């Protein structure tokens, strides 16, 4: 076992499990918990919710205000910064239409992931290195540290905005319905984990997911910039290729390796060790499993893209409808290939070869 030095001395850190241990132990623990829950049902859920959910009307009002504010900020930046920047860079018309959304999301996710990184690696929180510690000293209705509460307000309100943006501001694609479901599940996780004071694990979930969005939008912007003015710019081509490679690697490493083995092992196994009758154990783990399944779903898009890239020089986004370009002209806010999670910079039209999820 590793160890962490704390105020009370050296604390033993449980080593991260492998996939087999995660699957077997989680299955055994969850089945035992289900058998022991003889009184589970709607009445118990209602009573547990009323006894353990803590959220104020002020916090709810702040959520809606900030969600509205994100929408206004996005539109303001699009008109005052991203559109003029696209014109100044002499982007091709199709790329200029897509650039504002990528620019906006790159700004937000860089900010949000940087803050999560600060909380996990530059403060006293040891949740990344010792995931089971997220449930140490947990108490119903415990206070939420201000720095974590700020992160929750930023992320929760952004996903509230993102539900609206996916439906009304972004182009509709094959996986847009899954994207909306993802945003709803993420918002539910953020809201309920805050209300039930599972905020420590929530910060870890956000950290593991936001990094891919930074790489995705960075890659797409370089794809647009490499052919600006009708020319060819090697630096942007190289950067887009590097971004594509790093995106694919970190998607697997952060979302399909660290997420299940750090976060879900802690919520499925360690949570009951620290808090034997932890509220809404099955509900939260069901949401996390749904999030994992969506991560796997989008990873299949990445695999499909890589296979196509090996076969042909020019590929289209496998999430796009084949006749999308002929059905409608892209606009600055409605034309973007952001909804999927593929990245590439091979060939003149490779910007359509990026597939993306969207943001825990």
- Domain count for the chain, please give it: 1
pLDDT higher at 358 or 213 = 213
Q: Is residue 30 one of the residues assigned to a domain?
A: no
Helix 57-77 / helix 93-121 crossing angle, nearest 10 deg:
140
Q: Is residue 25 one of the residues assigned to a domain?
A: no
| pLDDT the model gives residue 166 | 85
Range scoring the smallest mean pLDDT among 11-15, 142-146, 185-189 = 11-15
pLDDT higher at 348 or 96 = 96
| pLDDT the model gives residue 173 | 67
Q: Decide if 240 contacts 248 (C-beta within 8 A).
A: no
Q: Is residue 324 one of the residues assigned to a domain?
A: no
pLDDT 10s digits, 245-268: 899 899 999 999 999 999 999 999
**Sorting pLDDT into bands at 50, 70 and 90, what band is 310?**
low
Mean pLDDT of 311-323: 49
Q: Is residue 233 one of the residues assigned to a domain?
A: yes
Share of the chain above pLDDT 90, in %: 52
| pLDDT the model gives residue 309 | 66
Q: Is residue 245 one of the residues assigned to a domain?
A: yes
Half-sphere exposure of 353 (CA within 13 A, CB side): 28
Mean pLDDT of 320-349: 41
Look up tokens 């993420």; give the residue: 186
User: Cα–Cα distance between 68 and 84 in angstroms, integer?
Assistant: 24
Mean pLDDT of 40-52: 79
Beta bridge partners of 11: 4
| pLDDT the model gives residue 312 | 59
Closest CA to 197 of 64, 93, 55, 339: 55
Range scoring the smallest mean pLDDT among 50-64, 84-98, 327-341 = 327-341
| pLDDT the model gives residue 321 | 53
| pLDDT the model gives residue 342 | 39
| pLDDT the model gives residue 332 | 37
Closest CA to 190 of 250, 130, 149, 218: 149
User: Cα–Cα distance between 291 and 350 in angstroms, integer?
Assistant: 28
| pLDDT the model gives residue 6 | 44
| pLDDT the model gives residue 176 | 76
Range scoring the smallest mean pLDDT among 8-22, 45-59, 259-273 = 8-22
Residue 11's SS3 state is strand
Beta strand 9-13 with 2-6 is: antiparallel
Torsion, Cα 123 127 129 135, to 10 degrees, reads 140
- Answer yes or no: is pLDDT of 9 > 60: no
User: Cα–Cα distance between 162 and 155 in angstroms, integer?
Assistant: 10
**Sorting pLDDT into bands at 50, 70 and 90, what band is 319?**
low
Closest CA to 135 of 5, 292, 284, 287: 284
Closest CA to 60 of 164, 148, 160: 160
User: Cα–Cα distance between 78 and 83 in angstroms, integer?
Assistant: 6
This prediction has a pTM of 0.80
Q: Which residues contact 126 (CB under 8 A, 6 or more apart)?
A: 4, 6, 133
Q: Tell how far CA 145 is from the center of its chain.
A: 22
Average pLDDT in the chain:
82
- Answer yes or no: is pLDDT of 307 > 80: no
- Answer yes or no: is pLDDT of 192 > 60: yes
Q: Is residue 70 one of the residues assigned to a domain?
A: yes
Q: Decide if 22 contacts 12 (C-beta within 8 A).
A: no
Q: Is residue 8 one of the residues assigned to a domain?
A: no
Range scoring the smallest mean pLDDT among 20-29, 202-211, 327-336 = 327-336
Mean pLDDT of 231-236: 91
CA quadruple 77, 79, 81, 83: dihedral positive or negative?
A: positive
User: In terms of residue numbers, what domain contains 186?
Assistant: 53-317
- Answer yes or no: is pLDDT of 324 > 60: no
Q: Is residue 358 one of the residues assigned to a domain?
A: no
How far, CA to CA in Å, does 139 sit from each of 94, 162, 273, 277? 53, 32, 14, 11
Mean pLDDT of 39-64: 85
Residue 127's SS3 state is coil
Mean pLDDT of 53-59: 91
């Amino acid at each position: 076992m590793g160890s962490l030095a704390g105020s009370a001395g050296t604390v033993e850190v449980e080593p991260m499990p492998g996939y087999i241990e995660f699957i077997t132990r989680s299955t055994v623990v969850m089945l035992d918990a289900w058998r022991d829950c003889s009184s589970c049902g709607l009445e118990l859920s209602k009573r547990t919710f009323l006894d353990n959910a803590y959220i104020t009307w002020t916090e709810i009002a702040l959520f809606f205000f900030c969600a509205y504010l994100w929408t206004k900020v996005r539109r303001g930046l699009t008109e005052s910064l991203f559109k003029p920047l696209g014109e100044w860079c002499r982007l091709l018309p199709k790329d200029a239409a897509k650039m504002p959304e990528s620019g906006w999301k790159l700004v937000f996710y860089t900010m949000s992931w940087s803050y999560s990184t600060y909380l996990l690696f530059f403060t006293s929180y040891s949740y990344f290195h010792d995931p089971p510690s997220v449930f140490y000293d947990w108490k119903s209705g415990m206070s939420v540290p201000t720095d974590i509460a700020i992160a929750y307000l930023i992320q929760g309100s952004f996903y509230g905005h993102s539900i609206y943006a996916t439906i009304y501001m972004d182009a509709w694609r094959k996986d847009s319905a899954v994207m909306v479901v993802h945003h709803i599940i993420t918002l539910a996780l953020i809201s309920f984990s805050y209300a039930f004071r599972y905020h420590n694990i929530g910060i870890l979930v956000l950290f593991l997911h936001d990094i891919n969005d930074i790489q995705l939008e960075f890659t797409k912007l370089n794809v647009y910039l490499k052919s600006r003015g009708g020319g060819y710019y090697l630096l942007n081509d190289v950067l887009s290729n590097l971004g594509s490679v790093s995106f694919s690697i970190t998607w697997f490493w952060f979302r399909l390796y660290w997420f299940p083995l750090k976060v879900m092992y802690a919520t499925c196994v360690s949570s009951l060790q620290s808090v034997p009758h932890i509220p809404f154990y099955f509900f939260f783990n069901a949401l996390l499993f749904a999030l994992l399944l969506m991560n796997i779903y989008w990873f299949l898009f990445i695999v499909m893209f890589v296979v196509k890239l090996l076969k042909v020089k020019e590929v289209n986004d496998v999430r796009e409808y084949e006749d999308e370009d002929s059905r409608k002209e892209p606009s600055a806010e409605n034309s973007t290939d952001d909804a999927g999670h593929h990245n590439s910079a091979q060939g003149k039209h490779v910007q359509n070869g990026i597939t993306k999820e969207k943001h825990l």
